[in-house]
Structure 1
């Protein structure tokens, strides 16, 4: 099922004790899968027992994590559904170890008691200053540089190939709304030259040679040091929608368009920007920030754990209208536009109305008493109420005055309306 020779970016952490048969069986199974295992002996490292208990709710061994995903004990591992296991292995293969991964012993022994206390304090103050100025990040995800937070890295060393990394932004921390407007202006210039009039197709080849794209990439580096926590809801919506759509284009230019299920999984979980000192993938932006930290399609867990600093950026609730503003690079997606914080809700309602007017996204078959909708409504049905009845109510409320809306109203007034879903066009929106 798995290619054991494929290089892995993440790791499996196993908390065990010597001589435990369940631990041995679990590690044997993981070894056969060709997974990189970090075996933590809790007899030797007793200081980690309390933390492991807090993370898992169990004091028994083994306890197993795939990156930051808690799997359980040996029995849980052995009973994993094959498809679930395959996704977990894929996550280890494709995703570097996240900041909130479970703890492991430090490589170096602690200093003798009282030794280097002054140096430690000074180093902590320096690290805290660099973190505030968005030059440094905590490996453990903590926001304060206290004695329990000993590992840090420069942003350019974050283990994720963010498309705006490779150099450190030399600017001071920037307000997100200010940088957002500069980026939007540059994106508009790109779109005006390289988007079709209806916003549905992109001339990627010409865009890659554009001086405007070069300038956009220079601005994108400054996202590393942007301040996100001061954003209002409206500013956050416009900022992250615009960044998502630009990041998809940047990812397509850098990696090429994904052509199958697994390539799409990798693309949306890998293509990322460093924003405000944290890595945000396309999945993180859509499902973590804009959908209020909900599981996405084929996701096993919420994007942000309770200790993830990015959770502070997430909107408090899901925003259904974002589905008609985000463009993933496929022909089945809504048109590409840019958005402003001013009157953002009206802009999104207009995008939803235009989407529903299109017969490729919404069709009313009065004869069969059937409403055919885009697959977007199926994938994110929970965002639109979770039932066919609530979904149809939402669609009706967001339609513009038209014959289509009157036809839907007639069907709904009689009851017994069937909801089905139209095929989704995953082919690229490239003009080529």
Structure 2
């Protein structure tokens, strides 16, 4: 874009600007960062409003702009649009807007700002987690150091870091002074509180030769194993919001100045990332079965998105189809005593235990305890909230149970507003869609007519929606799918 010939508005020759530029954004949004970088070049006073922390303003901003995406940019009370709109401004129009901010104050009907002292969600920000040590944590730590845990052979297979039910009961009786019945009950309590698991994954604790293992010793590729969660469990929804907010801020801190790439190497070495990993351990023992539908949606969406970034940091970004398959089928967390991969979360829990891409079987069998936390039916709106990346940034980054359906609806509207999600050609009677609609067509409707009807019903009022209505009324249309950009946004 040609540079302005007005000189820097902040050079002091004409005093400080009277107005302001207002930018509604969210943490970790590449488009927002690019917009702020461009505005910084102009030397304008920018007032940024983090919509994650001030969700009470969403309705008003959408009313003013007609959009659900971020950023939304105002020069005084003149709405410019998003990052692409800002960069498309002609030099003459940009110069006019700069002069407007420099010479005129924001009128009374200017874009809204948060009320003084209002900081919604402040209790869930980075560093707010306070550990209250679990009353049984010391017993577990003592048992871990006592020398009982070791290898056990069963047939041709050797199980490492295990102990039998008898060994635990013997130790509790000998070292903790419990009678035999109380020692057996203590073993059941430790299993109920998700400190230990059956090696076979089935059954309750029993005083027998059956093998058990501390959760931290789970041999699978679990990113939050390796130590025991010794804090009293937080409510699952609250913990997921804390983790998601921490990861988003960490992600934002390591975006490049233009918002196009992420320095994953620096992020993985950050003390803030170490803090995140410490808190992720606390997922091991959260209680999932008591979650409502809304709480499950918010919890598992937040955890999925954080796990994707955690996986990228630990193992690197997948670069081909085989690496992506392994990534989504092996990257996992211990959650509530069970292992959940990315596939398990998306297809098992959030899609009501439906087969995903390249899956021959459903994620959970009828006897799988994880089936108890799966939604009864697939929720199509989750596809616009999961796995946010540089190309498409959902407007709401952290989901809360209270307004989850509104938030998901907003995310869908934002996705469909973007040309990467949906394009409508009225002359050719053609609708081009993201591959997401092809991969998960069963969630939206089993015919093109049902699919487009679903899309129409989930669009915000816009020219694109009117165009889609026009195409549908013809009764003759073509649906095609755009290539999916799997390219990494890593700096390396």
Report the TM-score when normalising by structure 1. Answer: 0.68
CA 1:201 to 1:393, structure 2 compared with 1: closer, same or farther past 3 Å?
farther
Aligned match of 1:60 = none
**Taking structure 1 as reference, are residues 271 and 403 closer, same or farther at Cα in structure 2, changes over 3 Å only?**
same
Q: How does 1:349-364 map to 2 (within 5 A)?
A: 349-364=409-424
1:107–1:204 CA distance, 2 compared to 1 (3 A): closer
RMSD of aligned C-alpha atoms? 2.9
Q: Tell whether the 8 Å contact from 2:328 to 2:341 is kept in structure 1 after alignment.
A: yes
Does the C-alpha gap of structure 1 residues 182 and 129 become closer, same or farther in structure 2, counting only changes over 3 Å? same
Q: Which residue of 2 aligns with 1:78?
A: none
Cα 1:263–1:310, aligned 2, differ >3 Å: closer, same or farther? same
Q: Aligned equivalents of 2:344 and 2:260: distance in 1?
A: 24
- Confirm or deny that 1:307 pairs with 2:367: yes
C-alpha distance in 2 between matches for 1:107 and 1:370: 58
Larger Rg: 2
Tell whether 2:344 aligns with 1:284: yes
Q: Which secondary structure state, in structure 2, belongs to the residue aligned with residue 280 of structure 1?
A: strand
Larger RCO, structures 1/2 (Cα 8 Å, 6+ apart): 2
Within 2, Cα distance between the matches of 1:234 and 1:201? 33
Runs of at least 5 residues in structure 1 that lack an aligned partner in the other structure: 1-103, 109-114
> Corresponding residue for 1:428?
488
Within the candidate set 467, 479, 483, 1:407 is matched to 467
Matched, 1:373 2:433: yes
- By how many angstroms is 1:328 displaced? 6.4
Structure 1 residue 397 corresponds to structure 2 residue 446: no
Alpha carbons of 1:160 and 1:293: their partners in 2 closer, same or farther (altered >3 Å)? Answer: same
Aligned partners of 1:202 and 1:431 also within 8 Å? yes
Map of 1:134 onto structure 2: 194
User: Structure 2 matches for 1:237-276, cutoff 5 A?
Assistant: 237-276=297-336
> What is the CA deviation profile of residues 299-355 of structure 1, one whole-angstrom value per residue up to 9, with x for unaligned ones?
111111111111111111111000001116574785782211121111111111111
Show CA shifts across 1:191-244 (max 9, x none).
Answer: 442357998864423322333222111100111111111211111111111111
Point out where structure 2 has 5 or more consecutive residues left out of the alignment. 1-153, 159-165, 171-179
CA contact (8 A) 2:416 2:459 kept: yes
DSSP-derived class of the 1:429 partner: coil
**SS of 1:249 mapped into structure 2:** helix
183-192 vs 395-404, which moves further: 183-192
- Contact map agreement 2:245 2:398 (CA 8 A) in 1: no
Shift of 1:406: 0.4
Provide closer, same or farther for how the CA distance between residues 107 and 411 of structure 1 changes in structure 2, counting only shifts above 3 A.
closer
Match of 1:210 among 270, 283, 293: 270
**C-alpha distance in 1, partners of 2:396/2:258?**
8
8 Å contact kept, 1:293–1:304: yes
Return the offset for 1:128: 1.8
CA contact (8 A) 1:245 1:336 kept: no
User: Offset of 1:146 from its aligned partner?
Assistant: 5.2
Of 186, 199, 206, 2:246 maps to 186
Hey, what's the Cα distance between the residues in 1 that align with 2:479 and 2:207? 57
Matched residue pairs, number?
322
**CA separation of 1:336 and 1:330: change in aligned 2, threshold 3 A:** farther
Whether 1:166 and 2:244 are equivalent positions in the alignment is no
Residue pairs, 1:93-104, within 5 angstroms:
none
Distance in 1 separating the partners of 2:419 and 2:475: 22
CA displacement, residues 240-263 of structure 1 (integer Å, 9 cap, x when unaligned): 111111111110111111111111
- What residue number does 2:356 align with? 296
> Using the alignment, how far apart are the partners of 2:395 and 2:352 within structure 1?
23
Matched, 1:347 2:413: no
CA deviations over 1:87-146 (Å, ceiling 9, x no partner): xxxxxxxxxxxxxxxxx97989xxxxxx99x97977754432221111111233335235
Distance 1:131 1:335, change over 3 A: same
